Amino acid sequence: MKNLIKINPVVFYFALTCIISWFCLLPIIGIDGFLGKVTLSDDLMPLLFMAMCAGPLISSLTSVYLLDGKNGIKVLITKLLKWKVSFKFYLIALLAAPLLTILSFTILSFVSPKFIPMIFTSNEVIITIIGGIIGGLIAGFFEELGWTGFVTPKLTSKFSILKSSLIIGIVWGIWHFPLFIGQYPSSQVPIIILLMALLITHLPAFRILMTWVYERTQSLFIALLMHMSLTASALIFQADIKDGIDIIVSNLTFTIILYVMVFMINKVTKGQIVKGVF
């Protein structure tokens, strides 16, 4: 394993993460679940969630230890505990995802009321918010030890923030596929197109923001908060849309807004995102 990881640490991490996560999913959803032949029950979601999170956690610790030993683990923990950063990065980390999510649904609600998030008419607002935050914190901690803590520094040492983020974001989206492949059995849109529109649109775009913030702060804690805010926003501000076209429109709208924000930050910072100059 040491020889394999030295050849290409990033590819090693990506492969190990998918293998572990998907192998853990297999006894829960079976082969038919991976092929999208069965609808996954909502009752299985906590198990699926933890099975998926096992991949990035185990592969990040394994990769760091194989490459850098105990010292690598110490550095990872140090970055995880680094919380003293500029307040503006806390604002971006905590508010970017929910505000842009609300903005995208607000725009779409003028087209159809079905895009209005269900939380605005729900009787369980507090439970929904708490559940979203807890789920987001778990996902952020387990995942960002790897995506940000291990992979991001490896890629940004060779590529720009933009290119590094797109690489991570696309793999990050593909890694999610088994969680969603069985959720839309009646969609009129081919499942592969729907999954690409659902997972390989806004995730790479948001990863650009995450990478930029991490490069500015070197704080894994801030990356965790950003991931939490994105996951929590997705869980809290859900609209009751099941049709494939509506899902695609919703995600593309959110993605366009994200890229507008990326463009504005890049403009204000005079090319930090595209050029990778800090």
pLDDT of residue 206: 97
pLDDT at 35 over 80: no
pLDDT of residue 230: 97
pLDDT at 269 over 70: yes
Side chain identity at 110, as an amino acid letter? F
pLDDT at 136 over 60: yes
Label residue 234 by pLDDT band (50, 70, 90): very high
Locus of tokens 């989206």: 173
Q: What is the mean pLDDT of residues 66-78?
A: 94
Cα–Cα dist 272/39, whole Å: 44
Q: Which pTM does this prediction carry?
A: 0.92
3-state secondary structure the chain: CHHHHHHCHHHHHHHHHHHHHHHHHHHHHHHHHHCCCCCCCHHHHHHHHHHHHHHHHHHHHHHHHHHHHHHHHHHHHHHHCCCCCCHHHHHHHHHHHHHHHHHHHHHHHCCCHHHCEHHHHCCCHHHHHHHHHHHHHHHHHHHHHHHHHHHHHHHHCCCCHHHHHHHHHHHHHHHHHHHHCCCCCCCCCCHHHHHHHHHCCHHHHHHHHHHHHHHHHCCHHHHHHHHHHHHHHHHHCCECCCCHHHHHHHHHHHHHHHHHHHHHHHHHCCCHHHHCCC
pLDDT at 277 over 70: no
Mean pLDDT value across the chain: 91
Q: Is 150 left (phi over 0), alpha (psi -120 to 50) or beta?
A: alpha
Question: Which residues are bridge partners to 239 per DSSP?
Answer: 117
pLDDT at 257 over 50: yes
Question: Which residues are bridge partners to 117 per DSSP?
Answer: 239
pLDDT digits (tens, 9 = 90+) for 85-118: 999 999 999 999 999 999 999 999 999 999 999 9
pLDDT of residue 278: 37
Cα–Cα dist 235/231, whole Å: 6
pLDDT at 226 over 90: yes
Locus of tokens 């800090």: 278
Label residue 271 by pLDDT band (50, 70, 90): confident
pLDDT digits (tens, 9 = 90+) for 152-211: 999 999 999 999 999 999 999 999 998 888 776 656 788 888 889 999 999 999 999 999
Q: Is 218 left (phi over 0), alpha (psi -120 to 50) or beta?
A: left
Percent of the chain with pLDDT over 70: 96
Backbone angles phi, psi at 122, to 5 degrees: -85, 155
Question: Which residues are bridge partners to 108 per DSSP?
Answer: none
Domain spans of the chain, in order of start: 83-275
Cα–Cα dist 167/11, whole Å: 11
